[in-house]
Homo-oligomer: A and B are copies of this chain.
Amino acid sequence: MTFQVFDTTLRDGAQREGISYSVVDKLAVARLLDEFGVGFIEGGWPGAMPKDTEFFRRARTELDLKHAVLVAFGATRKAGVAVADDPQVRALLDAETQAVCLVAKSDIRHVERALRTTGAENLAMVRDSVAHFVAEGRRVFLDCEHFFDGYRFDPSYTSSVVSAALEAGAEVVVMCDTNGGMLPSRVTAAIGELVERLGVGPERLGIHCQNDTSCAVANTVAAVEAGVKHFQCTANGYGERPGNADLFAVVANLQLKLGLPVLPDGCLEQMVRVSHAIAEIANIAPDTHQAYVGAAAFAHKAGLHASAIKVDPVLYNHVDPSIVGNDMRILVTEMAGRASIELKSRELGLDLAGHPEALSRVTKRVKELEAGGWSFEAADASFELLVRSELPGENAARPFGLESYRVQVEHREDGAVVSEATVKVRVRGERVIATAEGNGPVNALDEALRVALKRHYPELAHFELADYKVRILEGSHGTGAITRVLVETVDGGGRDWTTVGVHENVVEASWHALVDALTYGLSYSAASVR
């Protein structure tokens, strides 16, 4: 039996607070998961959720999956109802998927207190439901809810649920750590015990972990090391409470650390792209620090060891970042030296190695600026502007120049707070004065600058400020502290870039970052903007 990478991003993962997929979103996520090469995509709960019913209907004609089998999720039949008469069972069949995943209670306390039925009836529900779907030609997986807690409380009852499902024809019975309280050593021990008690091979078992101990990935890996072949995960670990086991970390660990062929060839390097695209659809900012796929997953603060990292990257990365579609990044930091600045420039496609004097000037300026509180580690675009300004032949005219600006914030007697900015700039030989309002001083400045420039640069209309971060650098000087502002800009065409500004005045710091943002976008809009 090969590995079953079972994705439940669209069902269990959608339980995460704030996630709400449309049917179109679900179809797009399913396509991405298929491109990543998962074996099973659990698409939702038809019958219980109207959107999911619709998803399965459209999936029949609109999803053309290369790798994955679509799975519909549902519950075992209701207590005291014949399986053929249960409308939810009917809805699940109507989804017309090759495979179904049924959830069953496997903790006797939940059977009695939440389901309010008997242990015997619950076993009958499992047997009847599994047999029914098998008879209808479906592949059947059974999720044992609260498996580990139940097994700890009453191993005999919980095991009997597993046996009942297997005997009725379930392909795999999944041990769910629903409350998420497990640790790897306990997963290993429980599987060993269960396998011995039931006399079945661990390949008939599956694993589903929640991340409440921050061990969901490790618990899943431990189960696979114990012989389990079916594991349920969600993209980026999305899910209720602290989430589920992260599909990407689990797959990368199994494939790259344990050498297990869990994905089809060529799929692993889709990881970063698929992870970020799903985050985009879920409308959740990608986690910069996520293992394997985060933008900072292979980011090194350079400093003293930049040259060593350059020569021997393999000694400083636990895996080659390109295997999962990621890159190594060198952060330009307080400890910046020549080597890291050259390396960073090369990463941006700029050759400083051939211009040692320019490299010296850039290094000197970066050091001076960083001593004054500037930081380029999160502002590649400002760094690139700085490097380009020192490279021969690169010192092109800036798209506009500032004469002056004035910003005013008023809290009026009636309680209204209004912000207004006036900028005076020179654009292509012309002097332009523009005034605009905003919901704060920086927003007003941004608006005024756009008003001033839009006639000469209509493409500005597509630039949008996607993020604005403020950091006060010296906490010991009160409101007289130095302020660092980071601005992230997107251009509507999928490109984004980040710029920085530093000043004791938050408005002036923001102004620097805004000017860099527009300058960069206008100057290099045709080039490969990062």
Report which A residues bind B (CB closer than 8 A).
15-18, 20, 22-25, 107, 109-110, 113-114, 146, 149, 179-181, 183-185, 211-215, 217-219, 221-222, 225, 240-243, 246, 249, 252-253, 257-258, 283, 285, 288-292, 294, 296-301, 305, 308, 311-312, 315-319, 331-332, 375, 377-378, 402-413, 417, 419, 438-443, 446, 464-476, 478-481, 483, 487-488, 503-508, 510-511
The answer to whether residues A479 and B215 also contact, given A240-B301, A406-B409 and a CB cut-off of 8 A, is: no
Please determine whether B318 and A113 come into contact, CB atoms closer than 8 angstroms.
no
> A254: shortest Cβ distance to chain B, in Å?
10
> Do A218 and B291 touch (CB < 8 A)?
no
Contact A504 B114 (CB under 8 A): no
Residues of B within 8 Å of A312, CB to CB, are 109, 113-114
A211: chain B residues within 8 A (beta carbon): 289, 291
- Give A269 to B446 CA distance when docked, in angstroms: 45
Pairwise interchain contact B113-A214, C-beta atoms closer than 8 A: no
Number of copies: 2
Instruction: Provide the bound-state CA to CA distance between A471 and B483, in Å.
Output: 12
Chain B: which residue is nearest A465 at the CB level? Answer: B478
User: In the complex, what residue of chain B is closest to A414 when comparing beta carbons?
Assistant: B404
The complex places the Cα of A68 from the Cα of B419 at a distance, in Å, of: 49
> What would 20 A/B residue contacts be, using CB atoms closer than 8 Å?
A17-B288, A18-B375, A18-B378, A110-B308, A110-B315, A113-B308, A149-B315, A180-B318, A181-B318, A183-B253, A184-B222, A185-B225, A214-B246, A241-B300, A283-B471, A408-B408, A409-B505, A438-B479, A440-B480, A441-B507
The answer on a CB contact under 8 Å between A213 and B475 is no
| Bound complex: CA A475 to CA B498 (Å) | 13
Quick check: B407 and A291 within 8 Å, CB to CB?
A: no
Contact residue among B377, B403, B478, B507 (Cβ-Cβ distance under 8 Å from A409): B507
Give 4 nearest A-B pairs by CB, closest first: A465-B478, A181-B318, A218-B218, A214-B249
- B479:A443 contact, CB within 8 angstroms: yes
Contacts of A242 in B (CB 8 A): 289-291, 294, 296-297
